[in-house]
Amino acid sequence: MNHTSDGEQRHPIPTRVTHWLMALSILIMIGSGWRIYNASPLFDFTFPDQLTLGGDVDAALALHNDPGVASAIAWHFAAMWILVASYLGFVLWGVLSGHFRRDFLPITPRSFWQDFTAALRFRLEHRLGHYNAVQKLFYWGVLLAVALMIASGLAIWKPVQTYPLELLFGGFQGARLVHFLVMAGIVLFLIVHVALVILVPKTFVAMVLGRASEKSALAERNLPKGNVS
């Protein structure tokens, strides 16, 4: 089970495996999704081909008269199934292990506002193993965003078979818009998430090795030179 306490953070194997599978699949879906978007843009801009996934555009046009959209779709669907499986596994483990209840709850408007204003003033203290109210809300938000991305993607993929679902998004174009906006939100979350990991690299250690402690790092810094054990 996930165990977090002040100064120490632990992530069991199910959490780490599903986390990295979701990360990989989301990155693939973003890159391939941008290539698909470029073929039929919703807005007056497209993404640079170098940031998309689907092969060399010029080579694909020369060989198949297609700017790599078919290849991008293949990548997109392959990653989608990995995302669905890992997302369901992550949520199931989070509920059954008590990780969500223990680490992501409770959240109150007062605690969120206090931590949010402290973060704006760069005075929000971070303790390894402790999730502040801003982090808790953001994690719930990204879990909801992934669910919306999957649901809107299904409505786009199978608009006839999932017609009631498509109606919830306001039709086919509405589902495309939701899919794009949710993807944009996830990209922003990833940027912030990676930036925070760079600031607190021990969180990366915990997600790779399963355990990280501020105490061990402090002990190493305080160890006298030449004292090797």
CATH at 145: 1.20.950.20
DSSP-derived pairing of the beta strands 211-213 and 8-10:
antiparallel
The parent domain of residue 193 ranges over 3-222
Query: Residue 228: inside a domain, yes or no?
Result: no
Number of domains in the chain: 1
- The pair of structure tokens assigned to 36 is 């698909």
Query: Residue 229: inside a domain, yes or no?
Result: no
Query: Residue 142: inside a domain, yes or no?
Result: yes
- Distance CA(177)–CA(55), nearest Å, equals 25
Q: What is the pTM (predicted TM-score) of this model?
A: 0.83
How would you write the pLDDT of the chain (229 residues) with one tens digit per residue? 555 555 788 889 999 999 999 999 999 999 999 999 999 999 999 999 999 999 888 888 888 888 889 999 999 999 999 999 999 999 999 999 998 998 898 889 998 898 888 888 877 777 777 788 888 999 999 999 999 999 999 999 988 888 888 899 999 999 999 999 999 999 999 998 898 888 888 888 888 888 888 765 444 444 444 443 3
Q: Which amino acid is at 64?
A: H
Partners of 213 in the beta sheet? 8
Are the CB atoms for 75 and 53 separated by under 8 Å? Answer: yes
- The pair of structure tokens assigned to 152 is 């809107």
